[in-house]
Structure 1
């Protein structure tokens, strides 16, 4: 009988992904800071069919990176704001265990080892989207990354 729990392995994989994400995002600071009334910004490859999408101007550590940004709001979590800005976003789990799998119709591709990473004012988030309390004036950004 196998009594080994998979939870420690999942935690180790999540921690490794977070460390990798931090390294990948180190050079991805945005060019301009939006104000609290700004609209969300989506950046996808130019062959996308969405009218609100445009090619990314950011210097990214991965070619063709896709991003989704919006302003923070005091008292709201990054996850709450994401779901307000993009009701079609897909999430597995809830609260502190929430994991974003798709934004703007763009799903992270497990076969390509992709994931949606979260940053605040250009810095990798230290907690998950369901736990991250945002503040007015912050820029919340989601970017497709690989591990």
Structure 2
């Protein structure tokens, strides 16, 4: 997968996490085979325009709860109710929206769909005829998120 497709997502993720003052490290991207695991909570944002694909953004329940708590000003979050689900979906939306702005600076016109949130154990995603690029977002020693970028080949 070309760097021009990866870098906007890397920059966007770093920028959005900085806005929430959530220290994290964006790890090294790697290619994944399909199907891949979506962990326990998964937000899907569709990408349309000059390039078609999706962003799958998710993690384990403890990781998601930590992020949502930080987004809500440090209020303890013990469950993923509708407000918390909305917050995590908005995080994925913000990352994807920022990435689209970076793409536009390179002359690539893209749009995104509203996010869809899926929860469950052992979620498996099959991206037929698409390349899957996985980017870990490390929050601390115990928690990390995973951003999977999938583009039509």
Instruction: Report the TM-score range of the alignment, normalised by the length of the smaller protein.
Output: under 0.3
Select the structure with the greater relative contact order (CA < 8 A; seq sep ≥ 6).
2
More helix by share: 2
Task: Compare CA radii of gyration and give the structure with the larger one.
Answer: 1
TM-score normalised by structure 2 residue count: 0.26
More strand by share: 2
